[in-house]
Amino acid sequence: MLETYRQEMMPLFPFVWIGLDETPEKLFQERPMLYMAIMVVTCQENIEIQQELAQKYREEIGRRIWTHTEKNLQLLQGILVFLAWYQTHWVLGLQLSNLMYMAMSLVTELGLDKEPSSGTRTAPGVLTEITKKQEPQPVRTSDERRCHLGAFWLNSLLRICVKDIVPMPSRPSINNSCSILETGLESPWDTYLIQLVRIQLVAGSISATLYQDLERNEAQISHTLFMATSHVERQVQDLGATLHQEPRLQAPLTMSFHLLQVYLYKIGIDERLHEPKDPTLLPA
């Protein structure tokens, strides 16, 4: 099952990297919750066993996080894999929002959304840190950066396709992690990962420019909205010209880009844009 995931599934979701030297035994010992998540999503020949494994995974992840207050990278990696192939266990009951918020919480608790050098003892929410001795902060690992980017990507994708959940902030660390991974290219799929993230960064720009104004009822339908649409449309077009991958990954990359285009242009059919200025008037 591990080899199936590594060869067939990991290239499509390159945010959780498993090296070729990692055996099932080693993965189980060092990252048991990631191992368990992989067993769930790869057990596709027997649906009953898959659902049983998925239920056990949900129970175990809840026990570790809520009862034993664990917080570590392998918990986050497991949740991301579990979320990425959510169709394998959705029949157990929809938990997309809860799982996504759990992943976002782990990102924050592990400090993955900030660069180590950006910490300060006077920032909001760190009053308990003022009296603590400043310790040298470790350099962020590539696995940590991929996990942070994976949580951001899943959050953005869920907001577009499934449910308008709370957005994960697009901090400078997102672009910084992309640049660092692009320079190192430790994984053969890091380039694909970076392109997926950049698509969702543009999606975030579309959301902030167009949809949030509609939600606040501040959008002026006349020239302002059309000018804003033209601006983000150019962003989408410029991004599309840079998206190239090997044949195996070009199709899913193209699908992600087309989804971005749909997200941009679907604002044209938003009913809020076509409401009469006089609410007493009925459509002809």
Give how far Cα 188 sits from Cα of 16, 167, 194, 248, 268, Å: 13, 29, 12, 13, 39
3-state SS class at 164: coil
Nearest to 199 by CA among 145, 268, 253, 161: 253
Q: What is the mean pLDDT of residues 61-65?
A: 94
Each residue's pLDDT tens digit, 162-206? 877 888 877 788 999 999 999 988 888 899 999 999 999 999 988
Each residue's pLDDT tens digit, 245-254? 888 899 999 9
Nearest to 196 by CA among 250, 142, 134: 250
Token pair for residue 212?
């949030």
Each residue's pLDDT tens digit, 103-122? 999 999 999 988 876 555 55
- In the predicted model, is pLDDT for residue 219 greater than 50? no
Q: Considering only residues 129 and 91, tell me which one the structure prediction assigns the higher pLDDT.
A: 91
